């Protein structure tokens, strides 16, 4: 059943798209605009007002971002349309158990702010994967960069496809048109404005998301008969008491898998993912970065609660007539769009606001992914080859133009990839989490080995990373090709009208039972942890066989302070794996480039030591200084 939009719906939607585009234009030409305004107002003109945007400005905003936009951007980058549609459907199908993910937030964000982020920030990197070259060499860095590009490209294409699907199902608007229009707008303001435009549009999009969902929830409560009616219906449908304490790791969702497996999944996003680390590095100081991470605990918890509450509202509205089994929709991910179009049929502006909510969620993820992918392509893939071929680093002006061109290219490539998802599994939310666990897990593992285990050498890290990727991809592909039966709470169709054809329950399949002891039936939330354990065991074994780092001790600048404290208390008879690096100061605001790799030794040996490569020229990147 499809509803049509009112002209006012399109007006609201176009208004917000225009705002996002205007932000991109402003941040591309902000120096010229500010200079013009100062001349009009006859104020003092700064000498850098007409300075063209450089690559560091496009990717790191000259490391001057303040707290508010960073907090909003960190949230919005992960709160995609995939999460919005999938979490609402999860609440409808399984109740409030997904709220246990809040415990994962406490674990993951706390560890990230205190252990991972300080290492990256104090080294003043340009991209996260530079750390891997400093710690393990170019091979590991290149492998992690390739896997990150694959991970983010697929994920942002998925985030682009989800709102297009929602639009096509509720309005009849062609899916291809939705994908192209959304991808074009995101690519436009990201290419022009860089990370400044991305973080400020993220802040506005987060406001639109929160306001829109709250308004839909409040008006939805009124439609279903009030909060007491909602509570009664949810209680009778077992949506409020559906917490599974079974420790079986082969059950899709339990309190334990959401807490501990979810913590691994969240850390693979916020601790070692280039998209989020890029925001930490762009902060004006380390305290701002730490506060931005910790503030995501309450804010993400509140937004998760809002999404789950919307799912309960949808359940109360359709009690006794499940839209999927009654044939009104084709997949549960369409529940929220169908609910809005049906309930607010006579309130056009609300439906337009919902369109803005869906597209705000998509745009925030796509723009962040495109910007970070362009950064990785330049710093990790193009820059090294340019040094080999031309014998020098890319000029700042060329790098700036290349950043814009790459952002545009990646955005258009994402549009093409989005069409592929029309043929994939209906579990949009699970597939996106599987992807982060299968590919993000190995990346998290290799960073963790480097930051916390100084005995792991380059050979151990390389073999560990490859092994972890193989295990992660095997589990991911196997779970898709061999889907597991997922038990949902009961749904009724007894109140449906007689002229509706009732379909069989959607979760009755020929797949294995939910608690089958098979690697493919393992809960997708544990994928990151499995990849981490695999990498740890393999890395330790290979490093032990190759002599650990006894001959090439690791600079303490490349380790978390907690790891340094632990290893400083090791028995004296153990061969030292680290050395104290005092060459860079202790104030946490490091200007020299520390922990560079000395390649003057044997070709397979990486001696980590302190190299004072201080340069006052901010246009030089960390990669350039090391080389």
CATH number at residue 182: 1.20.1730.10
Token output for 165: 């699907």
Establish if 1 belongs to a structural domain.
no
Mean pLDDT, to the nearest integer, of 291-319? Answer: 93
Does the pLDDT of residue 211 top 80, yes or no?
yes
- Alpha-carbon dihedral of residues 448, 453, 458, 462, nearest 10 degrees? -40
Look at residues 242, 283, 322, 265 and name the one whose alpha carbon lies nearest to residue 125: 283
Does the pLDDT of residue 458 top 60, yes or no?
yes
Beta bridge partners of residue 512, listed in sequence order: 484
pLDDT for 8 equals 83
pLDDT band, very low/low/confident/very high, at 349 (cuts 50, 70, 90): confident
Select the more confidently predicted residue: 543 or 505.
Answer: 543
Establish if 498 belongs to a structural domain.
no
pLDDT band, very low/low/confident/very high, at 482 (cuts 50, 70, 90): confident
pLDDT band, very low/low/confident/very high, at 447 (cuts 50, 70, 90): very high
Select the more confidently predicted residue: 585 or 242.
Answer: 242
Alpha-helical (H) ranges within 225-347 are: 227-236, 255-256, 262-270, 274-281, 286-317, 335-343
pLDDT for 551 equals 85
Q: What is the DSSP letter of 554?
A: E
Its domain, for residue 404, covers 7-493+505-626
pLDDT for 70 equals 94
- The phi and psi torsions of 317 (rounded to 5 degrees) equal -70, -40
Does the pLDDT of residue 302 top 70, yes or no?
yes
HEC per residue, 120-171: HHHCCCCCCCHHHHHHHCHHHHHHHHHHHHHHHHHHHHHHHHHHHHHHHHHH
Residue 56's SS3 state is helix
Q: Which of 20-34, 185-199, 245-259, 412-426 has the lowest mean pLDDT?
A: 412-426
pLDDT for 497 equals 67
pLDDT for 140 equals 95
φ/ψ bin of 232: left (φ > 0), alpha (ψ from -120 to 50), beta (otherwise): alpha
Domain count, the chain: 1
Establish if 607 belongs to a structural domain.
yes
Q: Give dist(CA 3, CA 559) in Å, integer.
A: 57
Establish if 500 belongs to a structural domain.
no
Average pLDDT, the chain: 81
Q: Give dist(CA 270, CA 447) in Å, integer.
A: 12
Establish if 499 belongs to a structural domain.
no
Question: Percent of the chain at pLDDT above 70?
Answer: 82
Mean pLDDT, to the nearest integer, of 576-593? Answer: 55
Quick: pLDDT tens for 163-184: 787 677 666 777 887 888 888 9
Residue 395's SS3 state is coil
Look at residues 141, 112, 84 and name the one whose alpha carbon lies nearest to residue 354: 84
Angle at 554 between CA 552 and CA 447, to 5 degrees: 120
Does the pLDDT of residue 46 top 80, yes or no?
no
Q: pTM of this prediction? A: 0.86
Residue 484's SS3 state is strand
- The phi and psi torsions of 222 (rounded to 5 degrees) equal -65, -40
Select the more confidently predicted residue: 170 or 540.
Answer: 540
Q: Which of 140-144, 520-524, 574-578 has the lowest mean pLDDT?
A: 574-578
Establish if 558 belongs to a structural domain.
yes
Establish if 367 belongs to a structural domain.
yes
Look at residues 420, 365, 354 and name the one whose alpha carbon lies nearest to residue 169: 354
């Amino acid at each position: 059943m499809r509803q049509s939009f009112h002209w006012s719906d399109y007006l609201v939607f176009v208004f917000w798209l225009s705002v996002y585009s205007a932000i991109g234009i402003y941040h591309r030409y902000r120096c010229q605009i500010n200079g013009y305004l100062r001349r009009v107002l006859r104020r003092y003109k700064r000498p850098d007002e007409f300075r063209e945007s450089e690559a560091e400005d496009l990717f790191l905003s000259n490391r001057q971002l303040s707290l508010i936009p960073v907090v909003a951007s960190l949230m919005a980058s992960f709160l995609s349309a995939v999460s919005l549609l999938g979490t609402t459907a999860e609440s409808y199908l399984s109740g409030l158990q997904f709220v246990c993910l809040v415990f994962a937030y406490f674990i993951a964000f706390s560890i990230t702010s205190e252990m991972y982020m300080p290492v990256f920030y104090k080294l003043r990197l340009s991209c996260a994967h530079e750390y891997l070259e400093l710690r393990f060499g170019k091979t590991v860095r290149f492998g992690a960069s390739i896997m990150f590009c694959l991970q983010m490209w697929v994920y942002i294409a998925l985030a682009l496809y989800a709102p297009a699907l929602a639009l096509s199902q509720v309005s009849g608007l062609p899916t291809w048109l939705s994908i192209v229009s959304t991808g074009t707008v995101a690519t436009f303001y990201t290419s022009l404005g860089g990370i400044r435009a991305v973080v400020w549009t993220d802040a506005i999009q987060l406001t639109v998301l929160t306001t829109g969902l709250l308004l839909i929830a409040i008006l939805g409560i009124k439609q279903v008969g009030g909060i007491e009616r909602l509570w009664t219906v949810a209680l009778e449908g077992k949506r409020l008491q559906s917490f599974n304490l079974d420790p079986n790791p082969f059950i899709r969702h339990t309190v334990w898998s959401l807490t501990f497996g979810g913590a691994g999944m969240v850390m693979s996003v916020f601790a070692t993912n280039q998209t989020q680390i890029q925001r930490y590095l762009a902060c004006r100081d380390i305290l701002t970065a730490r506060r931005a991470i910790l503030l995501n605990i309450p804010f993400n918890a509140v937004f998760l609660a809002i999404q789950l509450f919307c799912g309960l509202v949808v359940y109360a509205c359709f009690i006794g007539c499940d839209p999927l089994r009654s044939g009104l929709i084709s997949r549960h991910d369409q529940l929220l769009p169908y609910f809005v179009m049906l309930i607010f049929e006579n309130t056009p502006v609300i439906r337009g606001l919902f369109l803005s909510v869906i597209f705000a969620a998509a745009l925030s993820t796509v723009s962040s992914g495109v910007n970070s992918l362009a950064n990785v392509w330049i710093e990790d893939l193009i820059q090294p080859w340019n040094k080999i071929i031309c014998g020098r680093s890319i000029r700042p002006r060329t790098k700036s133009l290349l950043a814009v061109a790459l952002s545009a290219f990646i955005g258009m490539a994402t549009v093409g990839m989005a069409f592929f998802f029309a043929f994939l599994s209906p579990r949009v939310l699970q597939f996106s989490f599987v992807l982060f666990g299968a590919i993000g897990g190995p990346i998290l593992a290799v960073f963790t080995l480097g930051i916390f285990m100084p005995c792991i050498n380059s050979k151990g890290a390389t073999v560990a990373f490859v092994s972890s990727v193989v295990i992660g991809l095997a589990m991911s592909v196997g779970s898709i090709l061999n889907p597991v039966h997922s038990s949902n709470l009961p749904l009724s169709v007894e109140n449906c009208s007689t002229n509706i054809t009732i379909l069989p329950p959607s979760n009755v399949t020929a797949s294995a039972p939910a608690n089958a002891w098979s690697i493919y039936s393992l809960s997708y939330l544990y994928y990151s942890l499995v990849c981490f354990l695999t990498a740890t065991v393999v890395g330790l074994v290979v490093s032990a066989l190759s002599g650990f780092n006894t001959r090439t001790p690791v600079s303490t600048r490349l380790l978390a302070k907690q790891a340094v404290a632990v290893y400083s208390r090791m028995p004296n008879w153990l061969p030292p794996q680290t050395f104290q690096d005092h060459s860079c100061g202790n104030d946490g605001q490091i200007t020299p480039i520390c922990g560079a790799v000395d390649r003057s030794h044997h070709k397979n040996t990486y001696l980590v030591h302190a190299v004072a490569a201080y340069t006052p020229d901010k246009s030089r990147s960390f990669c350039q200084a090391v080389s």
